[in-house]
Every structure is written in structure tokens, then in C-alpha cells.
Chains A and B, each alone.
Chain A
Amino acid sequence: MKGVLGIFEDREDLVRALKEAPGQGWTQLEAFSPYPDQELYELVEPGKSPVRWMTLLGGLTGGICGLALTIWTTLQWPLLITGGKPLISLPPFLVIVFELTILFGALATVTGFLYWGILRRLFRSLPYDSRFSQGHFGLWIECSEGETQQVIEWIKKTGATEWKEH
């Protein structure tokens, strides 16, 4: 991937640059920050994270599995030693249903995070600077080889303290 990586000391400069870059015709952007910054990531990728759907899907699966497990296993040995209560006594089973809802929901949430947050990025192989985990911010602009000089000229003006061509 061709492009320019700008390094910023000031977050506000980066926010401004992120807002202006699409106007210059560069739309393939990525921002780097040392902490979760909602304004930044909304600019990079607007909209809500799809991880929430994984949570829902996982939770529903867990709940159904809980019901299936308790009811099916009870029917495997249908002895009425339940003190007059029905064989399939839902109130106690609901405890299992609840716990499995949470368990599957949480594991699915993490799977969603690993897929969208981690795996998808591993295949993009963007450049990285170890200062991003310290205190600096970064802006990656993807562009064609001919455009790099133009991007560098522009990124200088936005307040980047350093820039690297990739």
C-alpha cells in the first residue's frame, strides 16, 4: 500500500487534518491515537460498530442452547421425582439459560472484536510508529505514487511534526 504517514503531537491538529483530507480528494484514511477517541474513530469510519450484532447473536444462541440443554437432558431420563412439579420446570432452568446467554454473548462479542478490530487489520498491513502507543497521534493517507509529494506538502501545513513516505 502506498501512502504517507504523518505524526502529530497535538490531537486538535490531527482532527482538523482528518476533516480536511477528504476535501483534498484523499479518502482512504486511518488515524492512530494512544487512547480511544470517539471523535477520531467516527471520522475514520462513521457509523456504529457491527460488534453489537455479534453480542446479540451470541446471547440469543446461548439462551437457546441453555433451553435445549436443560429440556433435552431432562427428557432423556424422564423420572417424575420432582415433588409434584412438572418434569420441565422452567424457573430453575432459567438460571442455566441466563448464564449461557451471558457466556455466549461475551464470547461472541470478543470474537467480533477479534474479527473486525484485529484480523481485518492484520491483512491491511498499515505502517506503524511505536510512538503511537506512547503519546503521539498519527494520520495515514493512502495515495498513488505520483501524489505522495503533494500529500507531504499538505500534511506539513496541517501541523504534523514528522512524515514518512511508504
Chain B
Amino acid sequence: MSDQESIQPSPDTRPEAARFEKVNRDVLRTLLPGPWYFALLAFCLMVFALGVWAWSRQVGQGLEVTGLRHPVMWGAYITTFVFWVGIAHSGTLISAILFLFRASWRAAISRAAEAMTVFAVMTAGLFPIVHLGRPWLFYWLLPYPNQRTLWVNFRSPLIWDVFAVGTYFTVSAVFFYVGLVPDLAVLRDNSTGWKRRIFAVASLGWSGSGREWKHFSSAYLFLAALATPLVISVHSVVSWDFAVAIVPGWHSTIFAPYFVAGAIFSGLAMVLTILIPARAILKLKDYITVGHLEKVAQMIIVSSLIVSYAYLTELFFAWYSENPFEQTVFLSRAVGDFAPLFWLMVLCNCLAPLLFFFKALRRNTVILFTISLLINVGMWTERFVIISGSLAREYARASWDTYSPSGVEWTILLASAAWFAFWFLLFIRHLPALPLAEVKESIHHAAHGPTPLQQEVNT
């Protein structure tokens, strides 16, 4: 079976109108929550509540309930912040960058990936606040007029972070919503009563007229064009939180591309982690095919190789610079307190994805799922090793120390995963998991080829 065949839904000879209606039916069928769904939702809320309780202890007693001690003042919270921001990135890669590259196979997975982006940024956004000793003063990060005319320091990467992550959340949410409008109209036309009224408002009275589609397509294209440089800037800015500081192991010019590659790598793995069970449970295997998963696996190989190359470059920098502080940090990563985590990271991020070079393995959903989980673990570990591992070996030997997260920190991390899962579960049963209009468009083009106008645009 060629790639093209494996990605398109099975050949269907019925008239197009009937096939389009089948797409609607197949996707709307997934929006019927059962008892298991509510049990899962309740479970996520419980775990999240546990996290809120742990956090309330931290607010009450101060950061002493965490494992954070001098010199390691950035630990599991900042690691997890970077982890979730990274997860978000592949959603934008799939929905915006692949859209600009006209990779039409992205249609089937783009909606889920976009939703993942929005929820991952919402999860990431919790951590800078959780990390604050006095979280009620978080608004000091914002430039607002105050009595002392004291403004934020725009030279600080932490302020860049506020702008980058804030912009990223707003733009991804808006992009997600605009793409959803025509599909909300499908939901409106297929529901009754109060649901219909809600969807009618949410779909902005969408009618599918040519003039609507014209401005929709234009807006979607420009949003994608804006989201593409944005996604690269966001993780670059996140990396500068570290690279701008003079901590050995952080202070490096490769950090921006290194972090962007890592972000896309981890995010693609998360796409697989979510989609493989989702397509089975929602019975969408005809739409999200093994061919789609294989394409994601191929992109994982590329990003994994870039990440591995960055690891080697870092080691080379340390060796070639003859800077004893850099060398100490990297040596301690490989053989010191953090060595087990370092080698776990190498195993998960550099070696495991190499298995995807074998076609049989990257088309096997069990293996895909297992490796995607390994990559998630590996990428969290990577950030942990970089962030805490470098701080623990900063310059003066007298201030060296080690760090391990406390129970409060682990509980809050777990709760953040529950928070992410909670939103994703809400999404998967209340909004179409596939972009209906785009799937219909790709069915049409598969049958008829591009229209003369599109050929003109492409040439």
C-alpha cells in the first residue's frame, strides 16, 4: 500500500454528498459520553483537587515544603513548565506549519493537536505561579501603571516569557476557535433544544456561504503564518530564561534551536500518546490511520536526531572551550548525582526513537505508544537534568548540592497532568475530534485532484 492510499479513508464510490454525511455521522457518533467517561472526568478532578491541596500547604508554609534549597532554586516546577510549553509546540507545528507546507495529511490529526496546544499552554501557565513563594503577587510580572511609576524590566528574560507565553496562549486559542467555527455549525445543525442554541451562538451563525469561506480561508492562512514564527519564538524565549543567565550548562548560544527541536520532539510524542488510545476508543481508525501515525513517527525521527546532535554539540562545547566550570557540569551530568537521569534521557530521546527507522516498528501501534511514553519521560528528564543539574554544580565547590523534588512537588506535577487530561476529555466528547470541513475537503481533492485555481496558485 502506498503512503497516499494508507492515509486516505477507504475508497468509497458513493456520491460525494453521501460520503460527506458519513464523515459527519462518524464523528458526531463520538460525542456520546458514557458512564466511563464521567468516571474518568471525576478521577481527573480528584487528582487535581489533591494538587490544589498540596499547593495550599505550600502557600501556607512557604517553599520549605518543596525540595528547593540553595543552590537549586529552580527544580521540578520550572522543569514541568518547560515540559508543558514544549508539548504545546507540536500542535502548532501540525496545525500551522504543516498547513503552510500544504501537507494535506495533517487534516485528520490537526484538531486534536490544536486542542492539545491550548490545554498544554493552560497547564504550563500554572507553574510560574505555583513556583512563586507569594503567588498573590504574580501581577508584578505585568507592566501596569502603579503609584511609584515602577515598570517591569524589559531586559529580563522572565518578562519576555510573560509576553511570549501570553501571546502564544491567546493566538493558539483564537486559531483553535476560528478553525472550529464551521464545525460548530455542523453540531448546531445536528442538535436540538438548548444545545442547538449554544452551538448557534458559538458558530456565529455560520452558513457555509462562499463569502464566509473566502474570508475564513484568508484569516486561517494568515493566522497560520503568524503562529509559525510565534511558536519558534516562544520556545526560544523559554530557552533564554536559562541561556541568558551565566550558569555553566545554561549559558550557550545553541539553546534556542536546541529547545525548539526538543519541544517539537516531545510534542509529537504526546500527539501519539493521546491519539493512539483516542482513535481506538472513539472508533476513528478509518480517519486517523496507521499511515498518519507513521508520518508523526517519521517527524519524531528527524527531531530526535536534531536533539541528539544538540546533546553532542553541548558536550563538544564543554570539551573544546576548556572552560573548567562547563566541563564540571557536563561531567557531573554523566557520572554524578544526576547520572541515572542523564542516561535515561539518552536512552529515551536518542536511542529509542531510532527504532522508528524500521517500517514494521513505526506501523505497530503498541510500539509507537510505548516509545511515545518513553519520549515523554525522556524529555521531562532532559529539562530536569539541564535545569537542576546545572544549578547543583554552579562554580564554587562549596555551594554544590543536590536536589530531589518533595512529595508536594510530585503531587502538583501529577495534578497538572490531571488538569491537562480533564480539559482534553471535555474537548473530545463535546467538540468534533476531527476538523470536519477539512476532512471533507481532502475527500473531495482525493477524488478530483486540485481545482484549476489551486493548480494556478501552486505553480
Q: Is A134 an interface residue (CB 8 A)?
A: yes
Q: Is A24 an interface residue (CB 8 A)?
A: no
A22 to chain B, nearest CB (A): 14
B431 to chain A, nearest CB (A): 15
**Interface size of B by Cβ–Cβ distance < 8 Å?**
67
Q: Are A106's CB and B170's CB within 8 A?
A: yes
Partner of B452, one of A31, A39, A116, A126: A39
Interface residue ranges of A109-125 to B (CB < 8 Å)? 109-110, 112-114, 116-118, 120-122
Partner of B208, one of A10, A69, A76, A133: A133
Q: Are A52's CB and B211's CB within 8 A?
A: no
Q: What does the 1/0 interface line of A122-146 toward B look like (CB < 8 Å)?
A: 1000101010111111001000000
User: Residue among B166, B208, B211, B457 with the most chain A CB within 10 A?
Assistant: B208
Partner of B218, one of A40, A49, A121: A49
Secondary structure call for the B interface: helix
Q: Are A113's CB and B186's CB within 8 A?
A: no
List of A residues within 8 angstroms of B212 by Cβ: 117-118, 121
Interface residue ranges of B160-214 to A (CB < 8 Å)? 160, 163-164, 166-167, 170-171, 174-175, 178, 182, 185-186, 188-189, 204-214
Partner of B21, one of A74, A102, A135: A135
Q: Are A110's CB and B20's CB within 8 A?
A: no
- B231 to chain A: closest residue by CB: A102
A60–B41 Cα distance when bound, in Å, is 44
A59 to chain B, nearest CB (A): 8
Q: Are A36's CB and B152's CB within 8 A?
A: no
Q: Are A33's CB and B213's CB within 8 A?
A: yes
Q: Are B454's CB and A10's CB within 8 A?
A: no
Q: A36-B441, A44-B211, A76-B149 are in contact. Are A134 and B451 (CB under 8 A)?
A: no
Q: Is B233 an interface residue (CB 8 A)?
A: yes
List of B residues within 8 angstroms of A96 by Cβ: 154, 159-160, 163
Q: Are B453's CB and A126's CB within 8 A?
A: no
Partner of B209, one of A31, A109, A134: A31
B62 to chain A, nearest CB (A): 29
Q: A30-B209, A31-B209, A76-B149 are in contact. Are A95 and B160 (CB under 8 A)?
A: yes
Q: Is B16 an interface residue (CB 8 A)?
A: yes
Q: Are B151's CB and A51's CB within 8 A?
A: no
List of B residues within 8 angstroms of A38 by Cβ: 217, 451, 453-454, 457
User: Residue among B149, B167, B170, B206 with the most chain A CB within 10 A?
Assistant: B167
A49–B452 Cα distance when bound, in Å, is 19
Interface residue ranges of A87-101 to B (CB < 8 Å)? 89, 92-93, 95-96, 98-100
**Interface size of A by Cβ–Cβ distance < 8 Å?**
66
Q: Is A48 an interface residue (CB 8 A)?
A: yes
Q: Are A95's CB and B209's CB within 8 A?
A: no
List of B residues within 8 angstroms of A118 by Cβ: 204-206, 212
Q: Is A1 an interface residue (CB 8 A)?
A: no
- B439 to chain A: closest residue by CB: A35
A49–B233 Cα distance when bound, in Å, is 28
Q: A34-B437, A51-B215, A106-B226 are in contact. Are A128 and B210 (CB under 8 A)?
A: no
Q: Is A150 an interface residue (CB 8 A)?
A: no
B275 to chain A, nearest CB (A): 22
Q: Are A93's CB and B154's CB within 8 A?
A: yes
Q: Is B7 an interface residue (CB 8 A)?
A: no
Q: Are B163's CB and A95's CB within 8 A?
A: yes
- B237 to chain A: closest residue by CB: A95
Interface residue ranges of A7-54 to B (CB < 8 Å)? 9-11, 30-45, 48-49, 51-52
Q: Are B215's CB and A11's CB within 8 A?
A: no
Q: Are B163's CB and A34's CB within 8 A?
A: no
A105–B437 Cα distance when bound, in Å, is 25
Q: A35-B437, A51-B219, A102-B226 are in contact. Are A110 and B211 (CB under 8 A)?
A: no
List of A residues within 8 angstroms of B440 by Cβ: 34-35, 135
Q: A41-B214, A95-B160, A106-B223 are in contact. Are A35 and B444 (CB under 8 A)?
A: yes
Q: What does the 1/0 interface line of B243-284 toward A look like (CB < 8 Å)?
A: 000000000000000000000000000000000000000000
List of B residues within 8 angstroms of A74 by Cβ: 151, 154
A134–B223 Cα distance when bound, in Å, is 26
- B25 to chain A: closest residue by CB: A134
List of B residues within 8 angstroms of A11 by Cβ: 16, 444
> What are 21 sample pairs from A and B whose C-beta atoms fall under 8 A apart?
A9-B15, A9-B16, A11-B16, A30-B211, A33-B210, A35-B437, A39-B452, A45-B210, A51-B218, A74-B151, A96-B159, A98-B229, A99-B163, A100-B167, A102-B171, A105-B222, A105-B226, A106-B227, A118-B212, A133-B208, A137-B17
Residue numbers of B with Cβ under 8 A of A are 15-21, 23-24, 143, 149-152, 154-155, 159-160, 163-164, 166-167, 170-171, 174-175, 178, 182, 185-186, 188-189, 204-219, 222-223, 226-227, 229-230, 233, 237, 436-438, 440-441, 444, 451-454, 457
Q: 4 nearest interchain CB pairs? A: A135-B20, A117-B215, A44-B210, A113-B219
Q: A45-B210, A134-B24 are in contact. List 14 more A-B contacts (CB 8 A).
A: A34-B20, A36-B216, A36-B441, A41-B211, A41-B217, A42-B453, A45-B211, A98-B233, A99-B166, A99-B230, A100-B167, A103-B166, A103-B171, A135-B18
